[in-house]
Structure formats: C-alpha cells, structure tokens
Structure 1
Amino acid sequence: MTINKAVMALAGFMVLLSVLLTWFVSPNWMLLTIFVGANLFQSAFTGFCPAAMIFRSFGLKSA
C-alpha cells in the first residue's frame, strides 16, 4: 500500500466513523468530519499532511 492510498483510506474511514457517531451519539461529532475535510483541502494546496508523515514513518512508500 502506498502513502496516498493509506491517507485516502484513513480519511474515508474517519468520515464514515464520524457519521456513525453523529447519528448514534451526538451531532457534535460532525466537527470531526469538518476537520477531516479541512485537512484534506489544505493538504491539496500546501502539500502538508500529518497523516502522510505518520504513514511515512511506518515505512510506507510514496506512489
């Protein structure tokens, strides 16, 4: 698995998790979805992605 695929998988998982938590626990969990979306948006322009740095430290390779 590459870093790009791992980041996309993590983002998708976090969005689905936040939707479930919003539905079953509290509407405040929608803030997690907003955070994930904002992080993806800013990383598209700046190239800075904390998740990619973590995956790189785990030994995943770039595409």
Structure 2
Amino acid sequence: MTAWQLTRVIAGTFILISLALGSSASPWFQSAYWLWFTAFVGVNLLQSGVTRWCLMERLLRKAGFTAEA
C-alpha cells in the first residue's frame, strides 16, 4: 500500500471513529466534542487537496512507505 492510499485509509478511519464517538445516536457515544476531531480531519483533507502537502503522508514516507505504486 502506498503512502497516499494509507493516508486516506487513516483519515477515513479517524472520521468514522470520531463520528461513532460524537453522534448521540451511536451506541458508542461518548461526547459531542468528538465531532471537533471530525472537523479537524476534514479541514486537513481540504488543506492537503488545495496545497498538495500532507503531514501524514510525509510521516508515512519517512516510515518507509513508498510515494507511488
């Protein structure tokens, strides 16, 4: 798996977990403050799409994941 693919998998996982913890309709509800984490991930995705720079992808490349397949 490449760094850009793993970045999107991690972001999607963070969003789903934070929605499960922040939505009052969820059986795993903890606090509505978890929705701020959802917003944080969304803003980072938006920023990386506009600037073409992503810290998570850079960290994964330094960890040894390849940039492309």
- TM-score normalized by structure 2? 0.85
Consecutive aligned runs of 4 or more in structure 1 exceeding 6 Å deviation = none
Bigger relative contact order (CA 8 A; separation at least 6): 1
CA RMSD of aligned residues (A): 0.8
- TM-score normalized by structure 1? 0.93
Partner deviation per Cα, 1:4-41 (whole Å, 9 max, x = no partner):
11001000110011011113100111001100010000
Q: Secondary structure at the match of 2:33?
A: helix
Higher relative helix content: 1
Q: Percent identity?
A: 35
State the number of aligned residues: 63
> Residue 57 of structure 2: which of 52, 58, 61 is its match?
52
Structure 1 gap ranges (5+): none
Q: Secondary structure at the match of 2:45?
A: helix
